[in-house]
Amino acid sequence: MIAERETRVLNNVQAINEALDLALAKDPRVLLFGEDVGTMGGVFRASDGLQQKYGEKRVFDTPLAESGIVGFGIGLAMAGFRPVAEIQFAGFLYPALDQILSHLGRMRHRTRGRFTIPMVIRAPYGGGVKTPEQHADSPEALLCHTPGVKVVIPSSPERAKGLLLAAIEDPDPVFFLEAIKLYRGVKGMVPEGYYTLPIGQARVVREGQAVSLFCYGGMVEVCQKAAEVAAREGVELEVVDLETLVPLDTPTILESVRKTGRAVVVYEAMRTGGFGAEVAARIAEEALDYLEAPILRVAGWDAPYPPFSAVENYYRPDAKRVLEAVRRVLAY
Amino acid sequence: MIAERETRVLNNVQAINEALDLALAKDPRVLLFGEDVGTMGGVFRASDGLQQKYGEKRVFDTPLAESGIVGFGIGLAMAGFRPVAEIQFAGFLYPALDQILSHLGRMRHRTRGRFTIPMVIRAPYGGGVKTPEQHADSPEALLCHTPGVKVVIPSSPERAKGLLLAAIEDPDPVFFLEAIKLYRGVKGMVPEGYYTLPIGQARVVREGQAVSLFCYGGMVEVCQKAAEVAAREGVELEVVDLETLVPLDTPTILESVRKTGRAVVVYEAMRTGGFGAEVAARIAEEALDYLEAPILRVAGWDAPYPPFSAVENYYRPDAKRVLEAVRRVLAY
Amino acid sequence: METVQYLDDTGRPLRELPFNPEELRQGYRALRRARHFDERALVLQRQGRLGVYPPFRGQEAAQVGVALCLQANRDWLLPSYRESAAALTFGMPIHKLILSWRADPAGWGAPPDVNMVQFYIPIATQIPQAAGVAHALHLQGQGAVAAVFIGDGGTSEGDFHEGLNFASVFNVPLLVTVQNNGWAISVPTHKQMRVQRIALKAQGYGIPGVVVDGNDLVAVWSVAREAVARARAGQGPTLIEALTYRVAPHTSSDDPSRYRTEEEAEQWKQRDPILRMKNCLLHLGLWSEEEEAELGEALEAEFQAELALADQAPEPNPWEIVEQVYHKMQPDQEAAWQYLRGEKA
Amino acid sequence: METVQYLDDTGRPLRELPFNPEELRQGYRALRRARHFDERALVLQRQGRLGVYPPFRGQEAAQVGVALCLQANRDWLLPSYRESAAALTFGMPIHKLILSWRADPAGWGAPPDVNMVQFYIPIATQIPQAAGVAHALHLQGQGAVAAVFIGDGGTSEGDFHEGLNFASVFNVPLLVTVQNNGWAISVPTHKQMRVQRIALKAQGYGIPGVVVDGNDLVAVWSVAREAVARARAGQGPTLIEALTYRVAPHTSSDDPSRYRTEEEAEQWKQRDPILRMKNCLLHLGLWSEEEEAELGEALEAEFQAELALADQAPEPNPWEIVEQVYHKMQPDQEAAWQYLRGEKA
Ligand SMILES: Cc1ncc(C[n+]2csc(CCOP(=O)(O)OP(=O)(O)O)c2C)c(N)n1
Ligand SMILES: Cc1ncc(C[n+]2csc(CCOP(=O)(O)OP(=O)(O)O)c2C)c(N)n1
Ligand SMILES: [Mg+2]
Ligand SMILES: [Mg+2]
């Protein structure tokens, strides 16, 4: 069905803006808010033009307070709205973690379904564009260790649009993390009109027999680049875009490992305790017999993301480091 | 040296109280504070009698604000003190996560060592004693994914005392999580006087050839119990108390796996994204060839810790569930 | 700041009361009902038939006075653990409250016609949420209001500040009642804040702040009624500081002798809100000891009937642990559910 | 609330100035030095020789006035990203500032005799930390004070509240200066808070709150001097609201035309703090255009010398990423370090 639609080339910000626009048009319960979301249309312009179009009641600026933003959204959601909040950078989710860990994902459970939180929290995350301190953080692992929330990280404009619309329709709280590097760095054909894509499914974005690369968000293009280089040498890498981290599509991961026998997990957050550890642990738990080599992780180092652009590319995994891991598992 | 000292039987709270007392006596820079820490001596009595002994300047109550407590401590530490803060329950660390993630572990890095945070944050954690909502949370994975902090979780009075004194001496921020279940539930011989135990070392607390159980804090007694039951059936389990989660003592973990060929990781936090995933990932990365069975995890379910006592024992791993996993890896 | 008061310490009216006789009698009955619940709950707790229980003895007027102004199926209540009296008066069935403090999930969801969010355990998180609920009510345009409670200690948390700021910026229909009961567990108010009156903080948000004698039902009720009327009329939030005292321990696990004197509690017992209201009614000739006895019996009968209901609730099943985590069970919960049903090896 | 002012909008003294001529000249030079830095920094930024840079044009007096009251090797400064002028005046060498905004780690650590914590990027976290630093200074008993800055937007964060509460409860020697520049990126102050004056918030903490014309160096300086004296004397914290305006964009990446009018900025340019102070000196006969020219040259010479120093700093090495994470490298950092040194396969 989506395949039949007209498509246009959009970048990720445009695709997200379009999804927000369509959601506001479709459902009067949808409200958009956050710091600089209204008049300015967001620091990355994700909500550009939407306040003008839908008015200040539906699209509005909030005070500079992330816990307030999330708590306010929880209240709006409990009382019948469909809040879509923007946190300006994922590294600024931290002041809101109490609301997130204590209530966002627990409200349904602690009220036995009497109150639910159909809320979406969008936040740009990750590095690669020389941002200041804390502006390149990748805190997805913290969110994934929170009961009752979903975590979605798209890697292309088409996916971003459909997944964001699905997230807004979802009856549970969804984190929607958007790789800053891909905002304008990636363009793609995007179907027109309203469509949703399923949350909870991983995608094989490139098939291969040699090694499975598991990745998401900003690391998908890095892995695809690595796969292209490897292909030139005759090595076919399989690239699996996890897309939804929670609930994780374990079957697709296992299927890929069963086929290739080799797994490399790639993420840009700091290595220890990163979400890639969960992926590795699931493979080690359920596909051990198929493994022909250790499960390697290529990740950020156990250090703050370096705000000095000169060396950020040594922190953030790139195709070179992915290929080193690939060589190691192949040589094993 | 410690072996030569007089010992007495203490429970964990008493051991911790003794460590705090000794630290206050030894180093005038040590300050103790938190909610109800002063007059009342803490809700678990960990600082009982210390305000009377050292005065209100050294041991004091703070306003009810965890971000304030941690931020205040960071300031005290930067300016030359050795703050030891208590957060009343680990589930109430959440409001402080911004201070923790943004600064506690990053200050040394972001000032190139000009300012450092020799601070200890103590918090009771975990379940097993029928506490209200959020009072049984185990958020260690969040802390372990924070650059620049150390995370220590003792499992016996002797270890608690020596590790807490080491934490207070440590030039970097240390989280010291104390299993509520063990506060009065476990007693042991504790050497008198001042001694420290090394941070960063795992301990084999029971040797065995069949399966390695990796655990920490409140799960150590659960694993030891499982090992006793298994021993009666002639199966010798090795129990490794990780004790320090960050920096993790990977060599001891790998050595154990190389010996037994089988690993079960046990933790009471929710399974997805728990610290056990990191342990499993490291084994899958560095000891694959020695594995004779999948690495299993026995953990809390992906749901909030149930505050209704009637079923908490179905959430929190017990010897029965550990033994089920042991049987699975042995039958593999 | 002036403290709003209608009754003197013995209960004698200081001036004309802004409620009619039937209202005053209704208010007293609500107070007595709350006290009755608290007393019975403590007994249940001692019998091991309740979990940790946070009593509210001494604070009945502060809670009941606000709840009397609300309609359960229209307005919203976001209480902290201390507000069983507000919950009860608002319309939460007693058996639900018992189950709730039994930590039985059957007690967690308010009935469909009672807009009460389950008691908040982490301190202050309810304030921004209440601002959000109130903003929703405002957008829905039905003149409904939200009411939220917090303690003196709770005002120190960042969420108190952020919530009040959101509430004031969006001018939402919200009552924020701070029960200043002098203590946050063992920490006295003067170590919690330097300011003498919490209501002064309202000035930092550009909203009205009122100090009220929290042990004077008439005073709390009338202040709350005005605030609710203002809120319904679109005039925004109000901060109410109710000066009161927690006569009982912090919770059933607490030992107040570790931090405060018996005399202090004794002094406050003299200002008991129920005694004061009863004396007020007696003074006005609106109440008799016969009615008192009848009321006592009726409350006991009600409580026992509700207790029986609560006791009938089945024990929670282990697999409920992973239910209601998502609207539809996801694979990881499903696997756990299967295990907990004993269907997995 | 009254706004403390010493100079009228053109710079003419409204009353007797509480500083002697040499002080006034020193103050002006500090202002000019700050402006010079800001202008040069923006040029460097446009040349690609600086990272994202947050200019402070228009806010010099609000920062310099406070910093002039502090001693770098005794007192402490905890600035947000906006406070390069305060940092400079406090004693941070220009080359360090350049390196810092170049996001070069060589710029991050203040010299041993300058107690400045690296610019804070997350909003408001510095406030509780400053309370802690100030409490430490108090305990150390040397009469030192801490000074912390925040913006109007920053006051909405919970940490602002928690920090002020701690500061007031522990009565610490702290100056909290809020630079109310009318905007938090694109959000105007009236959407940020309902209250007209941020200094009113001080009443909620029981501490003095002062509103000052933030473009009037004499006013800021004198208010800060009093607050510092109070703090040194053990009389606790002060909240200073400096009314000012960010004439420049939020940062070098911002486009203010998306949210505000050119006229607004133009009006504020008329009240330029440097112009006002210069006019004040000229009016008092304490300054000449010759001195002005000399000062300009001296500042440029200083800047160029410092820039040369900054440019000499070696490029950061990749392995520095994992250095200074712990006092001693731990195994995971060690492994990364080895890899980054290229010594690992
Ligand atoms: C975020 C958080 N921190 C700490 C606690 C532990 N705690 C529970 S009640 C309490 C004191 C609350 O005092 P106050 O707000 O005055 O309310 P009161 O109990 O007096 O009604 C504390 C510290 C908590 N529940 N949540
Ligand atoms: C916790 C946090 N949230 C959001 C941001 C993004 N941000 C940077 S500056 C800014 C506006 C700050 O406004 P204000 O406090 O008035 O200071 P000003 O920039 O005007 O000096 C925002 C929202 C941040 N740095 N930290
Ligand atoms: Mg209280
Ligand atoms: Mg501003």
Domain ranges of chain C: 3-314, 320-345
Q: Which residue has the tokens 């008991």?
A: C272
Q: Which residues on D lie below 8 Å from A134 (Cβ)?
A: 121-122
Q: Is the pLDDT of residue A1 over 60?
A: no
Q: Which residue has the tokens 């476990």?
A: B186
Q: Is the pLDDT of residue C344 over 50?
A: no
Contact D327 B171 (CB under 8 A): yes
Using the Cβ of C185 and the Cβ atoms of chain B, whether some distance falls under 8 Å is answered with yes
Distance from Cα B183 to the centre of ligand 1, integer Å: 21
pLDDT band at A2 (very low <50, low <70, confident <90, very high): low
Q: Looking at chain B, which subunits does it touch, using at least 3 CB pairs closer than 8 Å as the criterion?
A: A, C, D
Q: Would the CA dihedral through D178, D184, D185, D186 be positive or negative?
A: negative
pLDDT in tens, D35-52: 999 999 999 999 999 989
* DSSP string covering B64-75: S-HHHHHHHHHH
Q: Which of C80, C120, C321, C327 to mutate to test the interface with B (most CBs of B within 10 A)?
A: C321
Q: State which H helix or E strand residue B315 sits in.
A: helix B309-315
Question: Would B2-191 and B203-331 be classified into the same CATH topology?
Answer: yes
Sheet with A174-179: list strands edge to edge.
A59-61, A30-34, A82-86, A120-125, A174-179, A150-152, A244-246
Q: Which fold has domain C3-314?
A: Rossmann fold (3.40.50)
Contact B102 D133 (CB under 8 A): no
Which residues are CB-neighbours of B222 under 8 A, at least 6 positions away?
B215, B266, B317, B318, B319, B322
Q: What is the pLDDT at residue B2?
A: 65
Distance from Cα D150 to the centre of ligand 2, integer Å: 9
Give the active site residues of A. 135
Q: What is the pLDDT at residue D285?
A: 98
Q: Is the pLDDT of residue D343 over 70?
A: no
Question: How many residues does the structure list for chain A?
Answer: 332
- The C-alpha atoms of residue C146 and residue A138 are separated, in whole angstroms, by 36
Give the active site residues of D. 246, 250, 259
Which residues of chain B fall short of a pLDDT of 70? Answer: 1-3
Contact A280 B281 (CB under 8 A): yes
Residue pair C155/C198 in contact (Cβ under 8 Å)? The answer is yes
Q: Is the pLDDT of residue D276 over 90?
A: yes
Q: Which atom of ligand 1 is nearest to the CA of C80?
A: 21
Using the Cβ of A330 and the Cβ atoms of chain D, whether some distance falls under 8 Å is answered with no
Look at domain B2-191 and name its CATH class: alpha beta
Q: What is the pLDDT at residue C103?
A: 83
Question: How many residues does the structure list for chain B?
Answer: 332
Give the bridge partners for A121, in sequence order: A85, A175
DSSP state of A306: P
- The C-alpha atoms of residue B301 and residue B280 are separated, in whole angstroms, by 17
Residue pair C97/C84 in contact (Cβ under 8 Å)? The answer is yes
Residue pair C218/C231 in contact (Cβ under 8 Å)? The answer is no
Q: Which residue has the tokens 């004309």?
A: C16
Look at domain B203-331 and name its CATH class: alpha beta
Tell me which residues have their CB within 5 A of the ion that is ligand 3: C 151-152, 181, 184
Q: Which residues on A lie below 8 Å from D120 (Cβ)?
A: none
For residue A177, give both structure tokens. Answer: 């993390």
Q: Is the pLDDT of residue A96 over 80?
A: yes
Q: Is the pLDDT of residue D344 over 60?
A: no
Residue pair C180/C241 in contact (Cβ under 8 Å)? The answer is yes
pLDDT over 70, % of chain A: 99
Q: Which residues on A lie below 8 Å from C134 (Cβ)?
A: 75
Q: What is the pLDDT at residue A5?
A: 85
pLDDT in tens, C148-164: 999 999 999 999 999 99
Name the minimum distance, in Å, from the CA of B10 to any CA of chain A: 34
pLDDT in tens, A140-164: 999 999 999 999 999 999 999 999 9
Q: Which of D178, D257, D321 to mutate to test the interface with A (most CBs of A within 10 A)?
A: D321
Q: What is the pLDDT at residue C345?
A: 41
Q: What are the domain boundaries of chain A?
A: 2-191, 203-331
Query: A–B: how many Cβ contacts below 8 A?
Result: 133
Pocket lining: C249 vs ligand 1, CB cutoff 6 Å: no
Q: What is the pLDDT at residue A104?
A: 98
Q: Which of D123, D157, D159, D165 to mutate to test the interface with C (most CBs of C within 10 A)?
A: D165
Q: Which of D56, D60, D121, D185 to mutate to test the pocket of ligand 2 (most atoms within 8 A of CB)?
A: D185
Q: Which residue has the tokens 């939180």?
A: A117
- The C-alpha atoms of residue C37 and residue C304 are separated, in whole angstroms, by 10
D218: number of CA atoms within 13 Å, CB side?
A: 26
Q: Determine the residue type at A82.
A: R
Give the bridge partners for A305, in sequence order: none
Query: Which-ligand-closest: CA of D123?
Result: 2
Q: Which of B83, B170, B78 is nearest to B115 (CA)?
A: B78
Contact A301 D333 (CB under 8 A): yes
Least confident range from C135-149, C329-343, D224-238: namely: C329-343
The bridge status of strand B59-61 relative to strand B30-34 is: parallel
Q: Which of C88, C84, C77 is nearest to C133 (CA)?
A: C77
pLDDT over 90, % of chain A: 96
Chain C residue closest in CA terms to A110: C108
Peptide bond into B247 cis (omega under 30): yes
Residue B283: C-alpha distances to residues A222, B243, B288, B296 (Å): 26, 17, 7, 11
Using the Cβ of B115 and the Cβ atoms of chain D, whether some distance falls under 8 Å is answered with yes
Q: What is the pLDDT at residue C212?
A: 98
pLDDT band at D345 (very low <50, low <70, confident <90, very high): very low
Instruction: Give the mean pLDDT of A179-192.
Output: 95
- Buried b / exposed e along D320-340 (16+ C-beta atoms within 10 A): bbbbbbbeebbebbebbbebb
Chain CA centroid to CA C300, Å:
21
When CB atoms are compared, the residue of D105, D330, D333 closest to A308 is D105
Give the bridge partners for D290, in sequence order: none
Q: Determine the residue type at D27.
A: G
Within chain A, how many helices (H) and strands (E) appear? 13, 14
Q: Looking at chain D, which subunits does it touch, using at least 3 CB pairs closer than 8 Å as the criterion?
A: A, B, C
For residue D258, give both structure tokens. Answer: 């998306």
For residue D273, give both structure tokens. Answer: 């703090």
Instruction: Give the mean pLDDT of C26-44.
Output: 98
Instruction: Give the mean pLDDT of D99-121.
Output: 94
Q: Which long-range contacts (CB under 8 A, 24 or more apart) does C46-49 make?
A: C46/C252, C49/C102
For residue C161, give both structure tokens. Answer: 């500040």
Pocket lining: B35 vs ligand 1, CB cutoff 6 Å: yes
- Quickly count: other Cβ atoms within 10 Å of residue B185's Cβ: 14
Query: Which-ligand-closest: CA of B92?
Result: 1
- Buried b / exposed e along B35-68 (16+ C-beta atoms within 10 A): bbbbbbbbbbbbbbebbeebeeebbbbbbbbbbb
Q: Which of C56, C63, C183, C185 to mutate to test the pocket of ligand 1 (most atoms within 8 A of CB)?
A: C185
Query: Which-ligand-closest: CA of A61?
Result: 2
Which ipTM did the prediction report?
Answer: 0.98
Helix (H, G, I), strand (E, B) or coil at B27: coil
Which residues are CB-neighbours of A14 under 8 A, at least 6 positions away?
A157, A190
Helix (H, G, I), strand (E, B) or coil at C59: coil
Q: Which of A55, A17, A36, A29 is nearest to A164 (CA)?
A: A17
Using the Cβ of A79 and the Cβ atoms of chain D, whether some distance falls under 8 Å is answered with no
- The C-alpha atoms of residue A14 and residue A26 are separated, in whole angstroms, by 18
Chain CA centroid to CA A51, Å:
25
Q: Which residue has the tokens 């709205």?
A: A81
Using the Cβ of C119 and the Cβ atoms of chain D, whether some distance falls under 8 Å is answered with no
Distance from Cα C134 to the centre of ligand 2, integer Å: 26
Query: Which-ligand-closest: CA of D54?
Result: 2
D258, with CB counted inside 10 A (0-12, 13-18, 19+), is middle
C185: number of CA atoms within 13 Å, CB side?
A: 22
Helix C273-283 × helix C21-46 angle, to 10° = 150
Q: Which residue has the tokens 């949808």?
A: A30
